[in-house]
Structure 1
């Protein structure tokens, strides 16, 4: 088995695993707040407490995965094209 065929096999395996992940769990944690919904700030004693709502997810704590977003776009184009 050559290096190219091994790389192609690895890429196809990774793609299938990511597609399965997007099908099972279409939403992931927000990258900015790491799924908390707000930024953590420290008070004067050094204790962590919730701060302002996350500007990226607006406190929803979740984001849609890139693969699921692409699937939604493709299915929308297919639906509007077959009407």
Structure 2
């Protein structure tokens, strides 16, 4: 049981390292060519829009988690034009 858990953790750590090092992978629809053959004409791939690469699922999860953390922990910017001796009441 411990060996299986260790294997799963090492696999997830390896995939996280892969997503950090190479966040983009070849498109699965066009196999990284950027074009699809439709009948006798070539068209841009609808999935990757001709860019040939897609964002990995793990990288998309990392980006979403970072955005959620940023939105929940960071406060809006404070105004810098206020002075310490300024009071809003007379």
TM-score, structure 2 as length reference: 0.75
1:41, distance to aligned residue in structure 2 (A):
6.7
Match of 1:47 in 2: none
**Equivalent in 68, 79, 90 of residue 77 of structure 1:** 68
Matched, 1:16 2:13: yes
Match of 2:88 in 1: none
Q: How many residues are treated as equivalent by the alignment?
A: 74
Match of 1:37 in 2: 34
Is the partner of 2:71 in helix, strand or coil?
Answer: helix
Q: Bigger radius of gyration, 1 or 2?
A: 2
Q: Distance in 2 between matches of 1:37 and 1:81?
A: 38
1:42, distance to aligned residue in structure 2 (A):
8.6
Gaps of 5+ in 2: 75-90
More helix by share: 1
Is the partner of 1:23 in helix, strand or coil?
Answer: helix
TM-score, structure 1 as length reference: 0.81
Q: Whose RCO is larger (CA < 8 A, sep 6+)? A: 1
More strand by share: 1
Structure 1 runs (4+) greater than 6 angstroms displaced: none
